[in-house]
Amino acid sequence: MAAQFARRTIVRAGFGGTCVAVALALAPTAAAQSTRSGSAETHHAAPMAVARWHIVKTIKKATLQLWDVVAVKGGRAWVSGGLGYPNTVPLLLHRVGTKWITVLRPGMPSSFILATSLSATSDTNVWTQIANSDAVDHWNGSAWTRFHFGGVDTARTSNVVAVGMHDAWVFTHNFNTSTETSEFFDGSAFNDASFPAFIGGVGAINQVSASSPSNVWGLANEPVTQKWEAVHYNGKTWAVVPIPSKVLGPTGGPAEILAESAKNVWATVYSQNGLAGPMKLLHWNGTAWHRAGGRRPAGDLTGPIAPDGHGGLWLLAGRPKKTFPFFSSFFVHYGGGVWKAYPVPTSPAGAVSITAIALIPGTRSLWGAGSIIGKSGYKGGVILKFGL
């Protein structure tokens, strides 16, 4: 979700507040047909192709989980995840041309180790957090490098965001000293500094977003008051940007953030009652936080947020169900105060749980990623696309 920096980026594109129709009629699937009746000629318009969400790849593999997705220029994209339970092997799927190539990464002496939060500014600056560990992995276009921050028994990485051509921010938590640290990679080495709040958490993704190296935003928890707040980096220093209680309201906490510019930042918020709503979409306009208005569909925003490429947002929402999988997911488009719900594609392989979406740079199409869930656990992964 101006130049876009992917997380989650999620690859971001600047946009305004115009109302946008999303189910766009794109192009005829065939030329208009004509028939003759006597001397009269009747023209029949061929059906129009309509952009929609659809599953483009299903990976049926027990214990496979897919977590995040990021797209970069040139048609490349990455999906993060893990394989195996509970000692998960981190993996990534790399889209090259029309193929998704599986990349396995080393595990660690701990449980639930998998690649989660993804961020990239190009296909030569790709970062992924290794959840439940002190590490992040970096792809420079030709090789992977793993960076550690204090040891798996001492520290945890909580989020990562790529900025600039080679740079990135990594956020870590030392649970022995209860200190937070921001680590800046300048292309060759990390420089660390103390940090005023806790970014994200184990398995949390996309709680940091950047539109440029001098406009980085995060969702954080103040360690003393336990209040949720935003943090902003202006190219020189980090500063807390409080979210007023009347704006945040009763909540289970912010979910994901999308920085379009210094005056256009969005954040999704979890319901305190678990999918019971109401939906909360927060917006920073350069001077204050407020809630997005409009008539919201029933349900709760569950996290993923991405620009639609022409002035609006794509979001993911859910409603509780009384039967397995006990939730019903659906996409939501928001633009100019107008909300509209769209179905999540179904799969005969099992229930589809979407965890991430990302705009494909320079287009109005998006990638999505998620897992297939059965009553006994994860059964595979799915990659989705919005567009033709």
Q: What is the DSSP string of 318-337?
A: EEE-SSTTSEEEEEEEEETT
29 belongs to a structural domain: no
Q: Which tops the pLDDT comparison, 149 or 11?
A: 149
Q: Examine the pLDDT at 328 and tell me if it is beyond 60.
A: yes
Average pLDDT over residues 319-334: 91
The structural domain count of the chain equals: 1
Q: Examine the pLDDT at 191 and tell me if it is beyond 50.
A: yes
Average pLDDT over residues 282-308: 94
Whole-angstrom distance, CA of residue 227 vs CA of residue 217 = 17
Q: How confident is the model at residue 49, as a pLDDT?
A: 58
Q: What is the mean pLDDT of the chain?
A: 85
9 belongs to a structural domain: no
Q: How confident is the model at residue 242, as a pLDDT?
A: 93
Confidence of residue 197 (pLDDT cuts 50, 70, 90): confident
Q: How confident is the model at residue 11, as a pLDDT?
A: 29
128 belongs to a structural domain: yes
Q: Examine the pLDDT at 186 and tell me if it is beyond 80.
A: yes
Q: Examine the pLDDT at 368 and tell me if it is beyond 80.
A: yes
Q: How confident is the model at residue 27, as a pLDDT?
A: 31
41 belongs to a structural domain: no
Q: How confident is the model at residue 35, as a pLDDT?
A: 36
Average pLDDT over residues 76-104: 94
| Residues whose CB falls within 8 Å of the CB of residue 247, separated by 6 or more in sequence, listed in order | 282, 289, 290, 291
Q: Examine the pLDDT at 231 and tell me if it is beyond 60.
A: yes
Instruction: Look up the CATH number of the domain holding residue 126.
Output: 2.130.10.10
Q: Examine the pLDDT at 111 and tell me if it is beyond 60.
A: yes
Share of the chain above pLDDT 70, in %: 86
CA distances from 168 to 137, 182, 209, 256, 360 (A): 11, 10, 11, 18, 21
Whole-angstrom distance, CA of residue 262 vs CA of residue 331 = 27
Average pLDDT over residues 224-241: 90
Maximum CA extent, the chain? 88
Domain that holds residue 56: 48-387
CA distances from 178 to 8, 132, 182, 202 (A): 26, 16, 14, 15
Q: Which tops the pLDDT comparison, 288 or 176?
A: 288
